[in-house]
């Protein structure tokens, strides 16, 4: 492998088991030419240190994916309240729009409804909050969407009723989710 130089310090291509951490951000791999700095500002950095820093930087620039909640990037949680009712919460990061967070909460509700054998659901209550966090004088907002849903075997007269299968197809297409 070729070595390169940066800031008059020797760097070598990043190889080995630690590279896996760098290839799991935003659904796409990080460039395979990532390098390991062997000396930076008088401190030695190993593959793991560089990878952790790079992964944190890359993840902070990505909107939260459709996934179960992760402490670093957010995601959904659900609590079953009855055989036909759930509370679903979706927490986004600072790069997640309110619309995306709402869509992902609805997507989770539709998936739960179908898995319980109900083709339809209604929203009984909702709460949309933007949580603010300040660090070093910079304030960022992170959406938190909470919905209380009830599942139904048929459309409900007089209520806006979501068609679970249609909604799943529509949102998965919109966000290119498999």
Domain hosting residue 44, numbered range: 4-60
Give the pLDDT of residue 44.
52
Do both 82 and 139 map to the same domain? yes
Give the pLDDT of residue 17.
39
E-state strands within 75-155 = 75-82, 85-91, 120-135, 138-152
Do both 56 and 101 map to the same domain? no
Is 47 domain-assigned?
Answer: yes
The CATH number of the domain holding residue 89 is 3.30.110
Taking only the tens place, the pLDDT of each residue in 103-143 is 999 999 999 999 999 999 999 999 999 999 898 999 999 99
Do both 81 and 19 map to the same domain? no
Taking only the tens place, the pLDDT of each residue in 51-92 is 544 444 444 569 999 999 987 889 999 999 999 999 999 999
Measured distance CA(57)–CA(53) in Å, rounded: 6
Give the pLDDT of residue 85.
98
Q: Which of 17, 35, 60 is the last residue of a domain?
A: 60
Give the pLDDT of residue 2.
42
Phi (first) and psi of residue 56, to 5 degrees:
-60, -40
User: By the 8 A CB rule, do 33 and 54 touch?
Assistant: no
Measured distance CA(17)–CA(19) in Å, rounded: 5
User: By the 8 A CB rule, do 109 and 87 touch?
Assistant: no
Is 37 domain-assigned?
Answer: yes
Taking only the tens place, the pLDDT of each residue in 5-51 is 333 333 344 444 333 333 333 444 333 333 333 344 445 555 655 55
How many independent structural domains does the chain possess? 2
Helix (H) or strand (E) holding 52: helix 47-60
Do both 116 and 164 map to the same domain? yes
Do both 44 and 80 map to the same domain? no
Phi (first) and psi of residue 71, to 5 degrees:
-65, -25
User: By the 8 A CB rule, do 23 and 30 touch?
Assistant: yes
Rounded mean pLDDT of the chain? 78
């Amino acid at each position: 492998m070729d070595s390169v130089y940066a800031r008059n310090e020797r760097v070598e291509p990043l190889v080995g088991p630690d590279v896996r951490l760098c290839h799991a951000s935003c659904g796409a791999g990080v460039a395979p030419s990532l390098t390991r700095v062997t000396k930076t500002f008088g401190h030695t950095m190993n593959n793991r240190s560089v990878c952790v820093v790079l992964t944190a930087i890359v993840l902070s620039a990505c909107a939260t994916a459709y996934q179960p909640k992760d402490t670093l990037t957010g995601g959904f949680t659900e609590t079953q309240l009855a055989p036909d009712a759930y509370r679903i919460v979706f927490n986004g990061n600072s790069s997640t729009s309110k619309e995306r967070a709402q869509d992902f909460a609805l997507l989770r509700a539709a998936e739960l409804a179908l898995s319980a054998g109900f083709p339809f659901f209604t929203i009984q209550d909702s709460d949309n909050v933007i949580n603010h966090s300040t660090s070093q004088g910079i304030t960022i907002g992170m959406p938190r969407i909470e919905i209380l849903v009830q599942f139904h075997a048929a459309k409900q007269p007089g209520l806006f009723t979501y068609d679970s299968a249609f909604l799943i197809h529509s949102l998965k297409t919109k966000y290119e989710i498999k």
